Structure 1
Amino acid sequence: MARTREFDTEAAVSRAMDLFWTRGYEATSVRDLTGHLGIGQGSLYAAFGDKDGLYRAALEHYRSTLAADALRSLDEGADARSAIRAMLVERIRIAVEHGGRGCLAVNGVCERLPKDAATRRTVCDMQEASREALAEVLSAAVERGEITTDRDPRTLAAFLVTFLNGLLVSAKITPDARALEPLVDVALAVLD
């Protein structure tokens, strides 16, 4: 008879996400994970297959929570520029927390490529979702006359995602929101 799982898988994935985010994939051992999660090695392997499986689950959790929240926040702004600015500033705030841990997705790509195709796919999907959401916001802003740019909204969206990636790496180097936030206004000047 198979034993039933004696831990909350979702909570374990969330805690593992925090550990991977703070320490990185390579610096996080299975022993670190089992100690942090309060589970045995056998339970980890039974639930996730291996460390890679738990990492992929943590990355998916990040995508469905923090990354999804960032995209939803774009719909809540009074105008496109304010919504985009608020989203970028919030991403800075999250990235500088805990001594500048950056962004789990960007960190994962920087650390794990080119050898990890699964991380590449997941992060590419996140990036595409961000580009699409920003392009929609920018297209609607052009139609409403909020911005008068002669640039293609999809190109602007790609630029903003690229800018955000660099900003999130910079947050690891300089974990100071006051130093990074003025850069957002420079980037948003492309909407003028």
Structure 2
Amino acid sequence: MARTKEFDPDAALQSALELFWRRGYEATSMADLVDHLGIGRASIYATFGNKHELYLKAMDRYGETRDPRLIAELSQPGPVLPAVRALVRRFAAESAAPESRRHGCFITNTAAELAPHDPAAARRVEISWEHIETPLHAALVRAKAQGELPDDRDPRALARMLFVVMQGVRVVGKASGDPARVRDAAEQALALLD
């Protein structure tokens, strides 16, 4: 007869995500995971696989909880640019918040730490980024169709630029004690929408 799990795999995965988010992939050992999750190494391997597989599952979990407001905010009827501006400003404000300074964004952290040499992590980073850039592009296409953007503006290029700024403020917000730095960068990027 098979033994039943003596722990909640869903709660364990969430706990692993939090540890990886706080410490990073390389700085988190299997011993750290065993201690933090409070379950045995064999149970971790049997349920999640090795540390890398667990990390990828944590990335997937993080992706499941991505910001549901983003699409709702950008797809409201009426003028589009106020929603785009609000989104970029929200990213900047969240990036400068004390909690963000400690942990940053899990996907952005992974992009810097693992994506250059880990194809599986890089794929997940790309998917996550597409979930931001694609609705942003669609919103800017609508803005141009509604006459909110000047004719010489390229919605795809603007979406990419705003996306890169949004990711950049996450990195700088994590490392900087000066919230004006990310706020000013966001406002300068938004000026390109005029």
Normalising by structure 2, what TM-score?
0.86
Equivalent of 1:123 in 125, 128, 145: 125
Alignment of 1:35 with 2:18, yes or no, is no
1:82 paired to 2:98:
no
For the aligned residue pairs, the C-alpha RMSD in angstroms reads: 2.2
Q: Are 1:100 and 1:174, in contact at CA under 8 Å, matched by a contact in 2?
A: no
Per the alignment, in what secondary structure is the counterpart of residue 54 of structure 2?
A: helix
The answer as to whether partners of 2:101 and 2:176 remain within 8 angstroms in 1 is: no
2:62 aligned with 1:62, yes or no?
Answer: yes
* Alpha-carbon distance between aligned partners in 2 of 1:54 and 1:77, rounded to the nearest angstrom: 41
- What corresponds to 1:15 in structure 2? 15
Query: What runs of 5+ residues in structure 2 fail to find an aligned partner?
Result: none
Matched with 1:151 is 153
1:5 aligns with 2:9: no
* Equivalent residues of 1:14, 1:61 under 8 A apart: yes
Structure with greater proportional helix content: 1
The 3 A distance-change label for structure 1 pair 162 and 145 is same
**Larger C-alpha radius of gyration, 1 or 2?**
2
The answer to whether the Cα contact below 8 Å between 2:34 and 2:41 also exists between their aligned partners in 1 is yes
Overall identity of the aligned pairs, in %: 39
Contact 1:80 1:141 in 2 (8 A): yes
Q: Report the Cα distance in structure 1 between the residues aligned to 2:52 and 2:17, rounded to whole angstroms.
A: 12
- Kindly state the Cα deviation for residue 18 of structure 1 after the two structures are TM-superposed: 1.7
Greater displacement, 93-102 / 54-63: 93-102
- Number of residue-to-residue matches in the alignment: 192
